[in-house]
Amino acid sequence: MRVRPAHRSSAAIALALAASLALSACVATSPEPAATPTGEASSTPAPEATPTEPMLRPGEAAAANRQFFDQLNTEYHEANGRADGRSIVDNLVANGFTKQDMEVTPDNTAIGLATDSIVVSVRITGECLLGQFTPESYVSSIEPLLGTGGCLVGKTRAIDW
């Protein structure tokens, strides 16, 4: 069937009219007022992440346990200063560390003078957490396990109490 030119122009006019009506509905005739803030959030804020409480993480790497180790030792140092190796070890044991995995340096030199520092170590999954106590400060590090299977070089105290 052949469409006559008159019908084509009517169809084109109808299509143009429909398109102009559709497009005119998309254009606002007057600007809309801006929203006024009410002081309340319109959406619920995401809950804040709660910091993880430092805790002993048995079976995990030394890095995962360092924060807890440091917290215990820092609190101990603030309360006691350098103190003595036995009480440092006892504090760590009381908070879950295993005495069999620890080493500690002597409190006194060979001639009976107080040492400048006390170092305590804990073996954890093939690494060593080391904490050094001086009268002025406490510092720590993570070091590889020595070939001897221990963490400290030189003479250490027996932890047999």
Domain encompassing residue 115: 81-161
- pTM for the full model? 0.67
In a domain, 52, yes or no: no
The band of 48, judged by pLDDT with boundaries at 50, 70 and 90, is: low
Q: How far apart are CA 36 and CA 18, in angstroms?
A: 36
CA triple 63-69-75, angle to 5 deg: 145
Question: Please, are residues 122 and 101 in contact by the beta-carbon 8 Å criterion?
Answer: yes
- Better-scored residue on pLDDT, 41 or 149: 149
In a domain, 43, yes or no: no
In a domain, 110, yes or no: yes
How many structural domains does the chain have? 1
In a domain, 60, yes or no: no
Question: Please, are residues 43 and 26 in contact by the beta-carbon 8 Å criterion?
Answer: no
Type and span of the H or E element at 114: none
Average pLDDT (119-124) is: 98
State the pLDDT at residue 160: 85
CA dihedral sign, ordered 84, 87, 92, 93: positive
In a domain, 21, yes or no: no
